[in-house]
Amino acid sequence: MPRFMLFGEGNAKEQAFCEQSWRVGARADDLLCCMYGRNPYLERNPRTVRVGGVDEAISVGRARGVDTIVMLAIEQFEAGHVEIFQSAGFRVFGVSASATFLENSKVRAKAFMKRHGVASAPSVPFGDAAEAEKFLVKNWAHRRFVVKASCYLSDIKFSCTVPDTLEEAIEAVRRLSGHLAEMGAPADMVLEERAEGREFSVHVLVDGADYRVLPMIRDYKQLLEGNKGPNTAGIGSIAVATDWDRELMADLQSRVIQPTIDGLLREGIEYKFILYIGVMMTHDGPIALEYNVRPGTPEFPTLLALAKTSGLEMVEAIHDGKLGSLDLEWEDDEPCSVAVTLTTSGYPLSADGLGEPIFGLEELDDDVWPLAEYMPADPVPIASNGRVLTLVARGKSFQEARDRVYRNVDRIRFRGRYCRRDIGDLVALE
């Protein structure tokens, strides 16, 4: 009888969590996957149940004797699903609606960073596009800025723009303002001073007061090779399960992570979940760019590929407040992992390429891990999301992991298929 039930769309991150938890350790039968989306890999597993929504998931959970619901998506937290499942008598691994501001209000999150001395990129909040444009005109000659929506937007072409010219910055402000108006959402946005350095992602397991930092990840956000082109939600990532430079990690913890945890405690915000922090390594030291109240894709699967400890064990330790006794184990024979995401031709700017049939999934080698986003297969799999499929592989080196991934990329065939060919090309985790 499963104690835990993941409830979600069945996307790549959720697939990775379930499959890794089923594969690692001796507790595979403790986890049921309850999904309302489409994913051919999860659907063929007998531990998966498809449902129409929250009410049906509650019925399934009760019928199967589940006591804890696991959720990994901010959309679920914003919709109040944590509170709904709690009201139905379940324990929930998720983020309460009161703590989602860390991601869905950049204005409040940046103010939180300032209040608690979290090293971060300077930023200015605006509630009026005209005022934001005036600020850009006045300040662009000496500084460059990133344009970010304050609220959470799933459409990356609006949520974050990294302009190279003043004209591009003003256009980004106008485009974002128009999109927010169409949504009927507040016009709040943040102009964040553009920092220079290497960008990484940090996943922190937090059980309320204690925390554990997982290996850092180099993620690739820009669409084109050489880190050019429009921003994406994530098109590749690399990780290594070896010890980092102790001085660097101590600096990151003292400047970013510890002040964040202290701030949550000081403000009485209960946070027992995974906190994702976007970090830039600048000449002055690491700074926080943003918080996410959810694991990243493809970043989190890149970590799970290296973990000998199951995701389920991590969830249980966090939820029970026992992180201090959790023995996190990592691959030592093949300590490097590389993830490459295949996209449609129009991603992230248009819907071009959606609806194309996908071929070759059955031709992949056993040493790569295919992870699907929303993907109906009736019977042929269809590209139904801009990010279609992520391939993850381990290796003794980045080069070995890259070779395994890219050897399989061309076996996946659909019209307009795109991926970056330089993921892991640079030795980024020095």
Residue 397 and residue 285: Cα distance in Å, rounded? 27
Locus of tokens 């071009």? 352
What average pLDDT score do residues 179-196 get? 95
Is residue 385's pLDDT more than 80? yes
pLDDT value, residue 429: 44
Is residue 428 very low, low, confident or very high in pLDDT (cuts 50, 70, 90)?
A: very low
Amino acid at 196: E
Q: What is the pTM of this model?
A: 0.95
Is residue 425 very low, low, confident or very high in pLDDT (cuts 50, 70, 90)?
A: confident
Is residue 30 very low, low, confident or very high in pLDDT (cuts 50, 70, 90)?
A: very high
- Read off the pLDDT of residues 98-121 as tens digits, 9 standing for 90 and up: 899 999 999 999 999 999 999 999
189: which 2 tokens?
């946005």
- Read off the pLDDT of residues 255-273 as tens digits, 9 standing for 90 and up: 999 999 999 999 999 999 9
Distance of CA 22 to CAs 33, 148, 296, 311, Å?
A: 10, 38, 20, 9
What average pLDDT score do residues 19-24 get? 96
Residue 374 and residue 353: Cα distance in Å, rounded? 14
- Read off the pLDDT of residues 316-346 as tens digits, 9 standing for 90 and up: 999 999 999 999 999 999 999 999 999 999 9
DSSP codes joined into one string, 330-375: B-SSS-EEEEEEEE-TTTTT--TTTT-B-B-GGG--TTSEEEESS-
pLDDT value, residue 390: 98
Instruction: Report angle CA 60, 65, 69 to the nearest 5 degrees.
Output: 70
Residue 180 and residue 107: Cα distance in Å, rounded? 15
